[in-house]
Structure 1
Amino acid sequence: MMRKYIVTGTYALLFLAALTSCKKFLDVVPDNVATIDNAFTMRTQAMKFLFTCYSFMPKNGQLGDDPAMVGGDELWEIPERGAYLDMAKGFQSKVGPLGDRFQPMYQAIRDCNIFLENIGKVPDMQETERRRWISEVKFLKAYYHFILVRMYGPIPLIKTNLPISADVNQVKVVRNPADSCFSYIAKLLDEAAPGLPLTIISPTTEAGRITQPIALSLKAKVLVTAASPLFNGNTDQSSLKNLDGTPLFNTTYSKVKWDSAATACKRAIDVCESAGIKLYVYNPAFQQFTLTDTIKTQLSIRNAVTEKWNSEIIWANTQSNTADLQRLISSWWDPLYLDGVITRGELSPPLKIAELFYTANGVPIDEDKTWDYNGRYDLHTAGDADKLYIRKGYTTAGLHFNREPRFYADLGFDGGVYYGQGRFDDKKYMDLFYLEGKFKQRDGKGKYGYNTVTGYNLKKLINFQNTINSSNDYSVIDYPYPIMRLSDLYLLYAEALNESGGPSPEVNKYIDLVRKRAGLGTVASSWTNYSTNPVKFQNQDGMRAIIHQERLIELSFESQRLWDLRRWKESSKELNNPIKGWDLSQTTPISYYRITVLFNQTFGAKDYFWPIAEGNMTANRNLVQNLGW
């Protein structure tokens, strides 16, 4: 007879002081009979349970389910929108934590455990398929634990579900030390990887399911996170202990963690490349209109994110609805056709993000000896040489001139050229539409709809083949939101290598591969020839700064910055800087290009981790709260 397990209603499994009502499984059994016995009587029912395990995946890229979108400083929003902007403003609370995942992730882990403990009973399955399903669910179990560790730090590990006969003391589990958490997650991924396919054979029916490259790439990210300052020798967390005095953080720095992370990254890269995964470069088989190298480079950057299942995607979330996201962030394309409801320009990059990108020479704007950093807010008029970036004859800030291709591919701004969306402003170069961002202009403040709140628009996440037509319609091409791209993995490897042994040709190799696709020279040539600190890349600290900025640029607006700043322990610096933009209520360039402070952010030591909700603390008195909460 099959064992029965604790099933919860209001709180997550193992965090109740008393048991509550049963939870009905999603699409698990016929006739709405929610019993484990029925769920594993045949393959078709077990498959429903498998997909239930997948269904708990957070919807990356969606404002209501992804705190990394607007929970930090990368994007700003109108004040009326959602709870995550409240988190960016410092309104986090332990009473009802914003973006809380404690309960749903433990519900997910519970279902994964039920699946793993019962899948062996299904009679009508091939063993190779059973092994694959087990590997997928072990991966998901590892991923759900990782989500919790990244948010809350040390957590209770739920390796198996407790039987219904468990007494109340067994139910009241304690938090495991951070090192134990990472070790267990890595172990699950090691167990999962061999049973997973190298590639998805049938994308139409299996897109989004876990592969070996996904499992090994997640392990690489997990171990890099474990080796990073937030978890590796973090003395700020020395007083976080269980009630019995067990320390939850190892405050002694370990280089071995970086060594292990580098090894995991390289293995993941090798497997990804053997599966045919490679950096994406836009090279259409047929193109009706002239495409310059400038535009092709920008499309390589944008399409690496927005083209479905392109060559660079390691893992993407098929449950994320990017069509709605694209409509939210698209600017007001044309008042003749659109009424301002379909497109809203709602998420706006602050000025600090515009300043993050390199100059055209591939170095930071405050390091480029050929670029006028002190005059970056002065006005300049675009000439013929600028026309593929800025509208010829348009007056805008010096900050917008002579920047790297990712700046123009990722950001829209007043006077900036915006390739795509079916617009024709220059028939020689298809779709050289440009934005007008001043007060009551086409893309400016003061009209119906939201448009921008900083003076910048988010271009990167919008598919360039979305089209506007005369039927008051904005046709959007949906795509699965990327969770991991090869460029992410390359930069993780470079980071781990540098932390493990300092700068080396191997470190440079993987950074330079990403930079080449972005239209930039190598690190060595760019810093040697253009930087005021030409030897920066030759020492570990300098290379660390280069890698950090390269990641923040390359992966901008992809739900990565919030987590990177945290694991590097740099949030306390970056998130204590004000959110700034231009003066959007002005109609002339000289008035518009005045800096306006939108919000003064604050970030304290306690903000590196989410608080555990008071309800969970009350239900389980063995839990200890994160510091500062």
Structure 2
Amino acid sequence: MRNINMMTIMKENVNGTKAKYMPNINNTAMKKLLLAFLTLVVLVSCEQLDPRPIQDLTTEDLWSHATYGEGILTTAYINLETNYNIGLEYYTDNAVPSQPGANRLALGNWTVENNTISGWDGFYENIKYLNLFLENAKDLSYFVSDTEKDSLFNHYRYGEAYYLRAWYQWRLLQNYGGFPKDGNMALGYPIVTKALNVDDNLDLPRNTYEECVQQIIADCDTAFNTIPLDYTDRRDPYIGRANRGRGSGLAAKTLKARVYLYAASPAFGNSNPETWSRAAEAAAEAIDAAGGLADLSAYGNFNTGTNYDYIWSSSTASRNDWEYMYYPPSLYGQGACNPSQNLVDAFPASDGYPISESAAYDPNDPYNNRDSRLDKFIFYNGDEYKAGANTYVIDTYVGGDDAPGGISFLGTRTGYYLKKFLSEKVSLNVGSVTSDYKFKVLLGKTELYLNFAEAANEAFGPYDDRYGFSAFEVMEKIRSRALGSIDDTYMKSQADAGKDAFRAFIHNERRVELCFEEQRFWDLRRWNEDLNHSVKGVSISQEGSGFTYEYTTVENHEYKDYMRFVPLPYDQTLIMTNLKQNQGW
């Protein structure tokens, strides 16, 4: 998809007319070009096309049948991200890239001109598509001979457009929310809820952070009241499993909870019991909509499409590119992501205590008697892994195949490789290369539980159960999946110590559970925590039948305090004089 800056996007009206400074294309030609392009993304399963050539169709023809008009909505789905942005982890203390210097933003080289945290053009382009759909698609015909199906599908698709608009607006708010240079009120993005034309004021200022929150919530509420709650039915053609990946009422509730959680966070200047309570209530409503507080699905293949803890996910495809990128060299991968010792140390021992306090932890055998998530998420020295028909042992000790200078010259800088999201069904062994289905979880129940626990603890403390469950009870579901049926005396001790101690506990659990899911970069910022870290690794030496461990600093991160907020695109601030840049940039 081509990039279009915001001013160009906003200068396109419903008929595709451009502002006078744009190339000289008449209205009819632009209309045909725009809508001809959109038909390319229509699913092949649509009804047979009108036999007339598309250049002979009027605007009314194009908007009267889903074969054409639904292509705009489909485009907004197609443009959803399908890969986790692992690079965000390299800007935190969770991981480093195997290639030194590939994360220059964290190494003191972040400027407004070289900012890699982007999305402005793409998010606004998709909002443009959705605004066009909402303004023109009310009378789309899906099944010409069945008016009942017509009405139902139109109702659902219309609600999906509101949900997707909420999603893309959220991405703008997450990326660009912050304080301007000359103000003490947090700002978000310019709210655009219609297809603008040349007669509108196009030099829009940023709305306040709270105004953006309320706009997103309004779209989520409209979506919840319009589209199916979920798509779990096995056969139903309207709300059956074949529709998974479409926006749902449960996804709208879950997104609402996330937006309110961020809005209550300290970084945006409106953190108080009321905003935390608002976030807790939204998360509780989403949990209730999902069927109430329940056990989480057991850890397994992260690419299992029938795991309904995945509330909303991207499109699915059979792939092995993740394994090529992240498998260790001995599994024929590039080993591109190296988790940090900092992250490994955040995983508790098997008794639930931090490794610094656990009697079960042995520093001479550091990967034994650990929380089960460590084995699920990270490759470590001595780890046994079955890929396809073969079982491999990961050797990151000095001289091992997966160490620097082994099979790969780079090897691992930290002693570890990323395992989460990868599939044991995938073999990269020459002659037996296989693939597995992959998708990105955009919203999930694990995050929803953590969102509730954080907000409820801040608003009411660990044990308040006014919604039928407490922050403590929700965290029990998180911990029991990881630790089994142990008596979790450590979690109980942290809850008994009060809100502050339980906050630190929740933050660490969030770090572990959601690692590599694009959360920690934003969490550190919204919590107002220190952005600078010494990222640690381990050098392992083999001595006889055992190993010795030397912990080292791999790199130091250097952020200025204003880098808590991401800069707006520099070119946009040059074009739009009312668009205030975040402070410091």
Normalised by the shorter chain, which TM-score bucket? Answer: 0.7 to 0.9
Q: Which residue identity lines up with residue 254 of structure 1 in the other structure?
A: N
Aligned match of 1:544: 503
Distance 1:320 1:229 in 2: 39
Distance 1:221 1:520 in 2: 28
Aligned match of 2:15: none
Deviation sequence 1:46-78 (CA, Å, 0-9, x none):
121110122232334155xxx534343322113
The answer to whether the aligner puts 1:412 opposite 2:379 as a matched pair is yes
Distance 2:229 2:515 in 1: 28
The answer to whether the aligner puts 1:349 opposite 2:339 as a matched pair is yes
Aligned match of 1:364: 354
Distance 1:171 1:36 in 2: 25
Q: Which residue identity lines up with residue 285 of structure 2 in the other structure?
A: R
Q: Which residue identity lines up with residue 216 of structure 2 in the other structure?
A: I
Aligned match of 2:254: 217
Counterpart secondary structure, 2:268:
coil
Determine if contact 1:12/1:104 at 8 Å carries over to the other structure. no
CA gap 1:62/1:527 in 2 versus in 1, 3 angstroms: closer
Shift of 1:309: 3.2
Aligned match of 1:459: 419
Shift of 1:45: 0.8
Unaligned stretches of 5+ residues in structure 1: 1-6, 234-252, 282-299, 335-339, 381-397, 425-430, 529-533
The answer to whether the aligner puts 1:310 opposite 2:320 as a matched pair is no
Number of residue pairs aligned between Structure 1 and Structure 2: 527
Aligned match of 2:229: 198
The answer to whether the aligner puts 1:101 opposite 2:119 as a matched pair is yes
Aligned match of 1:511: 475
Counterpart secondary structure, 1:475:
coil
Aligned match of 1:271: 289
Q: Which residue identity lines up with residue 421 of structure 2 in the other structure?
A: L
Counterpart secondary structure, 2:502:
helix
Determine if contact 1:88/1:601 at 8 Å carries over to the other structure. yes
Distance 1:440 1:39 in 2: 65
CA gap 1:93/1:19 in 2 versus in 1, 3 angstroms: farther
Q: Which residue identity lines up with residue 9 of structure 2 in the other structure?
A: L
CA gap 1:277/1:106 in 2 versus in 1, 3 angstroms: farther
Distance 1:278 1:95 in 2: 46
Distance 1:53 1:40 in 2: 17
Aligned match of 2:216: 185
CA gap 1:325/1:512 in 2 versus in 1, 3 angstroms: same
Aligned match of 1:161: 195
Shift of 1:544: 0.8
Aligned match of 2:76: 53
Q: Calculate the TM-score normalised by the size of structure 2.
A: 0.82
Aligned match of 1:70: 90
Distance 1:452 1:74 in 2: 14
Aligned match of 2:535: 579
Aligned match of 1:328: 325
Determine if contact 1:213/1:268 at 8 Å carries over to the other structure. yes
The answer to whether the aligner puts 1:20 opposite 2:22 as a matched pair is yes
Distance 1:438 1:32 in 2: 63
Aligned match of 1:421: 387
Distance 1:537 1:134 in 2: 48
Determine if contact 1:12/1:106 at 8 Å carries over to the other structure. no
CA gap 1:625/1:45 in 2 versus in 1, 3 angstroms: same
Q: Which residue identity lines up with residue 208 of structure 1 in the other structure?
A: G
Aligned match of 1:297: none
Aligned match of 1:111: 129
CA gap 1:155/1:10 in 2 versus in 1, 3 angstroms: closer
CA gap 1:464/1:578 in 2 versus in 1, 3 angstroms: same
Give the share of equivalent positions with the same residue, in percent. Answer: 25
Select the residue among 481, 484, 504 that pairs with 2:440: 481
Shift of 1:402: 2.4
CA gap 1:184/1:439 in 2 versus in 1, 3 angstroms: same
Distance 2:490 2:494 in 1: 11
Aligned match of 1:435: 394
Q: Which residue identity lines up with residue 129 of structure 1 in the other structure?
A: F
Determine if contact 2:5/2:572 at 8 Å carries over to the other structure. no
Shift of 1:322: 6.2
Q: Which residue identity lines up with residue 414 of structure 2 in the other structure?
A: T
Determine if contact 1:609/1:626 at 8 Å carries over to the other structure. yes
Shift of 1:271: 1.4
CA gap 1:271/1:600 in 2 versus in 1, 3 angstroms: same
Where do 1:220-299 residues align within 5 Å? 220-233=257-270, 253-273=271-291, 279-281=296-298
Counterpart secondary structure, 1:566:
helix
Shift of 1:81: 8.1
Where do 1:542-621 residues align within 5 Å? 542-570=501-529, 573=530, 575-583=531-539, 593-621=549-577
Distance 2:268 2:22 in 1: 35
